Amino acid sequence: MAAGAATATEDYPQEIDEQLTTFDSSVNAVKTMLEKLMSMSRNDLMQTLDPLEQAKLDLMSVYTLNSLFWMYLVTKGINPREHGIKQELERIKTYMNRVKEITDKKKAARLDKGAASRFLRNALFDPDDKELKKAATKKPVDAPSEAPQRKRPKQS
């Protein structure tokens, strides 16, 4: 039995053994995810999602299918970069970027102008400045004012 295992590893170069093992685990992960996705009815799944999540699911599905087709072309010896699948994947990526921008805009912090101005006013507050301003605006009792004082006419 050990001789049979040794001949099985001799069918391909030893250098790619690790890559094939990684590829096999990746294919099994994709298979598991597809089984989960296919176990639910698409209509039921779409009803539970909001429109943005529906768009994400559709894009993920299309991208996955096109990526699998890309791998199929590679296994058949066809260069996928010279095939129409490359343009299709690029088109899907642009839509994925659009959805990402929309998601990022929703997550972006909104500026509360009132809170920001209060924060800055309090952060820049200097109690010494306030005392100097108060002192400058108060008129000394003894000092004559700069403007001539007018007497008010007596009201009868």
| Assigned domain for 39 exists | yes
Tens of pLDDT, residue by residue over 15-44, are 888 888 898 998 899 889 888 878 888 888
Q: Is the pTM of the predicted complex or chain greater than 0.85?
A: no
Residue 36, in any domain of the structure? yes
- Is there a domain that residue 15 lies in? no
The pLDDT of residue 150 is: 59
What confidence tens digit (pLDDT) does each residue in 63-106 have? 988 988 998 999 899 998 999 999 999 999 999 999 999 988 88
Exposure string for 25-52, b = 16+ CB within 10 A, e = fewer: eeeeeeeeeeeeeeeeeeeeeeeeeeee
What is the per-residue pLDDT across 103-123, written as a single tens digit (0 to 9) for each? 888 887 777 788 888 888 887
Measured CA to CA, the distance from residue 97 to residue 39 in angstroms comes to 28
**Domain coverage including residue 99:** 26-105
Q: Is 44 inside a domain boundary?
A: yes
Question: Does residue 9 lie in a domain region?
Answer: no
**Residue 30 belongs to a domain:** yes
- The candidate with the shortest Cα–Cα distance to 52, out of 108, 110, 89, 100, is 100
149 in a structural domain: no
Residue 17 CB contacts under 8 Å (≥ 6 apart), including other chains:
9
Q: Please tell me the total count of domains within the chain.
A: 1
